[in-house]
């Protein structure tokens, strides 16, 4: 994200630099944005390009990566913007959109995942010199991308059991070491005068060095870091060597657990890293309590009142108590798909059912039949047949591997789809040099 740039008007022009308001022509002129590309019915402006370039530069700086020459960054930024325009226009034509309610929910969840309020998140974004409205639109575009991928790409991606088995075996062979580390980033100050800027940066750097001697790393990161994880005490988490910026690798390999590095200089500023722990690859152990249960469900409808449905279900319960088997009653009376299986729901993991159902089920003894239970689906009778502890480690690993493969294949297919989309699109580029 970059500093907020506000333009008063955005006009479709090729060479005009100023718009003259006839009413105020003698008094003032208003600077407008330059059009640098047309993508189907949309335009790419110079301000959009500069914003995207700054986002790329900042991301590279924060990650400790070498910043590419301006021409290369310009090309990358323009390519990204053209793709965004094409994908969003396609989405609009297909009726894919992200309303404000969903967008707000996603942003609130981002704040929660960082253990801060939405207001604090907004403050952090603006403290970083960015615009919250820009942030919202970036999130909206990401969500549109996800919807497009889901609708036209993911549905056609298949993952075989053979592929899952192969990747699991490959992971076992590699047993990659993961470095869990935290990060403080001190960005170079660029306000105009190089000597002054260098002095400001140096002063902040020295202050951080002194603070690290007196305070813990997390507190210093929150107070001084310009990095993206400052609000979380600079915690990056566990990464393999392949996922870590090159300039950090040598330091991490030579550090002891709990140690903080000396300042590491990059083109964007200075970095401090703290090694929290080293992790060897091993399968996660996941033990869950499973319940084998049956149900009889009577659904809500407009013909019979809820009181009548509850009474009917109570009568069915009495029939079972008097001698009818639960299976027979479920097959005869239940109004959901489980009726064909005599109400059998199989082995249920925590969270597999809605809360009201699960709460009642968890309180039942083996073979006990519940009283009628109301949920959003209707009214239920529940019978618990068995309980067990189940090791889901292997299943969980297979699911994670499957999701990883799905993501990889989806990205490849999406990139191919975008390439085809661009080949058939009307794109004109007028890239102005400043």
Per-residue pLDDT of the chain (434 residues; tens, 9 = 90+): 332 222 222 222 222 322 333 333 334 444 467 898 999 999 999 999 998 988 888 877 776 666 667 888 899 999 999 999 999 999 999 999 899 999 999 998 888 888 888 898 888 888 877 788 888 988 999 999 999 988 888 778 888 999 988 887 877 666 668 899 999 999 887 644 455 567 888 889 999 999 999 899 999 999 999 888 888 899 999 988 888 888 999 999 999 999 999 999 988 889 999 999 998 766 667 788 999 999 999 998 878 888 999 999 999 999 999 999 999 999 999 999 899 999 999 999 998 999 999 999 999 999 999 999 999 899 999 999 999 998 877 888 888 888 888 888 988 899 899 999 999 999 999 875 54
Q: pLDDT by residue (tens digit) across 187-218?
A: 887 644 455 567 888 889 999 999 999 899 99
DSSP H stretches of helix in 215-258: 217-224, 246-254
SS3 content of the chain, % helix, strand, coil (to 5): 50, 20, 30
What backbone torsions phi and psi does residue 53 show, to the nearest 5 degrees? -60, -45
Nearest to 260 by CA among 359, 184, 344: 184
DSSP H stretches of helix in 215-322: 217-224, 246-254, 306-321
Q: Which two tokens stand for residue 269?
A: 């500023």
Cβ-based neighbours of 366, under 8 Å, separated by 6 or more: 384, 385, 386, 387
Q: What is the pLDDT of residue 261?
A: 94
Question: Side-chain half-sphere of 236: how many Cα atoms within 13 Å?
Answer: 27
CA quadruple 82, 84, 89, 90: dihedral positive or negative?
Answer: positive
Nearest to 402 by CA among 173, 160, 152: 160
Calpha distance 37→427 (Å, rounded): 7
CA distances from 120 to 115, 132, 185, 307 (A): 10, 12, 20, 47
Q: Which domains are present in the chain?
A: 18-156 (1.10.4030.10), 176-280 (3.10.50.40), 288-391 (3.10.50.40)
Q: What is the DSSP string of 123-191?
A: HHHHHTT--HHHHHHHHHHHHHHHHHIIIIIGGG----HHHHHHHHHHHHHH--EEEEEEEEEEEPP-S
Render the burial of 273-304: b for 16+ CB within 10 Å, e for the rest.
Answer: bbbbebeeeeeeeeebebbbbbbbbbeeeeee
Q: What is the pLDDT of residue 196?
A: 56
Q: Which residues pair with 183 in a beta bridge?
A: 273
Calpha distance 159→403 (Å, rounded): 9
DSSP state of 232: G
Calpha distance 403→408 (Å, rounded): 9
Nearest to 348 by CA among 290, 289, 280: 290
């Amino acid at each position: 994200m970059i500093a907020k740039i506000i333009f008063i008007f955005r006009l479709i022009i090729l060479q005009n630099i100023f718009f003259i308001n006839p009413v105020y022509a003698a008094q003032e002129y208003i600077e407008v944005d330059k059009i640098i590309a047309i993508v189907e019915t949309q335009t790419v402006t110079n301000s959009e390009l500069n914003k995207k370039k700054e986002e790329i530069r900042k991301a590279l700086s924060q990650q400790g990566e070498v910043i590419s020459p301006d021409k290369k960054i310009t090309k990358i930024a323009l390519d990204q913007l053209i793709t965004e325009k094409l994908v969003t226009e396609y989405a609009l034509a297909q009726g894919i959109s992200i309303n404000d309610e969903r967008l707000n929910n996603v942003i609130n969840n981002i704040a929660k995942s960082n253990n801060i309020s939405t207001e604090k998140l907004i403050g952090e974004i603006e403290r970083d010199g960015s615009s919250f409205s820009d942030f919202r639109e970036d999130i909206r575009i990401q969500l549109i991308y996800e919807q497009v991928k889901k609708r036209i790409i993911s549905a056609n991606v298949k993952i075989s059991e053979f592929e899952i088995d192969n990747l699991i075996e490959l992971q076992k062979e590699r047993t990659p070491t993961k470095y869990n580390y935290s990060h403080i980033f001190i960005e170079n100050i660029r306000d105009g005068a190089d000597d002054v800027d260098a002095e400001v940066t140096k002063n902040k750097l020295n202050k951080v060095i002194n603070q690290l001697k007196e305070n813990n790393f997390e507190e210093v990161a929150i107070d001084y870091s310009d990095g993206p994880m400052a609000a979380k005490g600079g915690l990056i988490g566990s990464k393999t060597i392949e996922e870590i910026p090159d300039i950090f690798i040598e330091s991490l390999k030579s550090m002891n657990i709990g140690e903080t590095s000396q300042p590491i200089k990059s083109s964007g500023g200075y970095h401090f890293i703290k090694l929290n722990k080293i992790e060897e690859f091993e399968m996660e152990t996941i033990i869950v309590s499973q319940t084998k249960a049956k149900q009889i469900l009577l659904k809500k409808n407009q013909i019979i009142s809820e009181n009548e449905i509850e009474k009917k279900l109570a009568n069915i319960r009495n029939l079972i108590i008097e001698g009818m088997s639960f299976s027979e009653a479920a097959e005869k009376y239940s109004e959901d798909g489980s009726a064909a299986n005599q109400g059998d729901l199989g082995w249920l993991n925590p969270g597999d059912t809605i809360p009201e159902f699960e709460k009642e089920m968890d309180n039942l003894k083996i073979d006990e039949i519940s009283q009628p239970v109301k949920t959003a689906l209707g009214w239920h009778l529940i019978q618990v047949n068995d309980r067990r502890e189940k090791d889901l480690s292997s299943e969980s690993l297979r699911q994670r591997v499957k999701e990883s493969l799905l993501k990889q294949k989806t990205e490849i297919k999406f990139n191919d789809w975008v390439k085809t989309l661009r080949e058939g699109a009307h794109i004109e580029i007028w890239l102005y040099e400043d």
